[in-house]
Structures are given as C-alpha cells and as structure tokens.
Amino acid sequence: MSETADAVYTPEHAPVLVAVMNNRSDFERARDEGWYRIPLKRAPRRIAAEYLAFYQTGAFGDEGCAVNYFAPVRRFQVLSRGELLPDQPDHPRAADLYYRIEIGPLQRLEEPVTSPRLRRVTFIPTTLGRLLAAREVNDLWQRDDVQERLWAALREAGLLAEYRYQLGEPPNETLIDFALFCRDGRIAVLCETTPDPDPDLRERRPADYELVAGGWQVMQLGEREINENMAACVDRVAALVRQLGGQAATAD
C-alpha cells in the first residue's frame, strides 16, 4: 500500500529542538568547534532532532531574546563535564553528565524569531517548516488541532497569549497552556482535550490552587466547548481581560 501525500516526509517536517544559548563562550564553541552541551538532568525527555536552533538570551545584546541561528545535528554523545571542558577539572560539576551534540555550520535565519514578552525559554520541540515561518517564539510550538484553533482565534481577536508559559526552573518547571498578562492581573487558560495529545505536558501542569495562590485567574476550556462554540470561548477570555484592565499590548 502506498503512503498518502499527507504522510510523505519532507524537509519541512524535519524535527528541530530549540535550545537556550545564554553565554558567549557556548555560542563560540557552537560556531567555531561545532558542538553544544545540555546537562542530562535538565534535558527534555525527547532530545533527538535533525536540527538544533538557539534561543539567545539578553546576554547577546541586539541579538538577544530571539532565535537567530540553527544548524544540522550530526551526532549525540553523553560525556562528563570534565571530558567536555578538560581545562576546568576542578569545577564543582565536573562529574555531571551532559549531552554533547555535534552540529554543522550555523545558519542565520532570514528573520529572527523574537520573544514579545522576553519570556523564559528552555526547550521547544518544533519542525523546520515552523522554524522558517515563525515570527515569534509562540509560533514555534506544535499544538494539537484544538489548541491551534484556539491560538489562532485569540490572535484574531487581538489578544496576546503566551503558549506553554513556563513557571519555575527545570526539571521542576510547570507549564500553562495559554497565559495572558493584563494591567491588573494574569490569566491562565487551561485546555482539556481527549485523548490528551501531550501527556508529558499534563504532568507538568500546575494545579489550579497553585495558580490561584500565585495570583492567577484560572479559566478551564473543554474540547467540546472549543469545537462547538469557539466564539463564546474567545468572548469569555476577552471579558476577563477587560475585567483585569485590558492588555498593555495586543497581538499583531
């Protein structure tokens, strides 16, 4: 039986892992020596990818808070920090294990993928097609159909939402499906879908009481509700945004 056109693998479907680049020495190693390191204890559960892209933090000045470069992945190894950086044998984490990811030459994106709120970023699994088409970090995430349509509807309504907004630090971080920041408060929109497209994400979702204790307004939206009355869902979110004083900025 032949594969359907939708099942054919093309370069735009090539998996990409977006990782954080937070210092110039790591950037110089990636550029000049062709490798990048990720501590095993902070690595995502799924690390295999054909390309590695780098979200550069504010430490990079004009290039900061954006994805500017990507590179093909050539090989993965697991080594100790001492083996990776033999000139630092007395470092307190010299025995810690790291992924050493060998990469090809860095390629600059035609347009940087920026972070509109200067959000905290760790790892984002995406595809080459999404990376090349993205305008901002939120566009990189691969969402299930329900969340994709909700994301698009919120943007169409002029609401600025951060997808999979991270609270805390790995490996104990939690993720909010959609976070909206208003003048007088914050909204956490949580989507319930069946079957769950990403059980790993659900394991990292904060409990409602934790969000409320942290000053968040929590809104639950079910799959059926989104599918059958998207306009009403968006109206509910927009009404709560207005109740909290509106947003300082709106989506393009």
Hey, is 92 helix, strand or coil? Answer: coil
pTM: 0.65
CATH topology of domain 145-243: Endonuclease; Chain A (3.40.960)
Nearest to 195 by CA among 163, 175, 223, 227: 223
Average pLDDT, the chain: 85
Mean pLDDT of 169-187: 86
pLDDT digits (tens, 9 = 90+) for 18-28: 999 999 999 99
pLDDT digits (tens, 9 = 90+) for 186-231: 999 998 765 444 555 556 678 888 898 889 999 999 888 888 899 9
The answer to whether domain 5-140 has CATH 3.40.50.1820 is no
Q: Torsions phi, psi of 251, nearest 5? A: -70, 150
In which band, very low, low, confident or very high, does the pLDDT at 7 lie, cut at 50, 70 and 90? very low
Map out the domains of the chain as residue ranges.
5-140, 145-243
Q: What pLDDT does residue 238 have?
A: 95
User: Both tokens of residue 85?
Assistant: 């950086």
In which band, very low, low, confident or very high, does the pLDDT at 1 lie, cut at 50, 70 and 90? very low
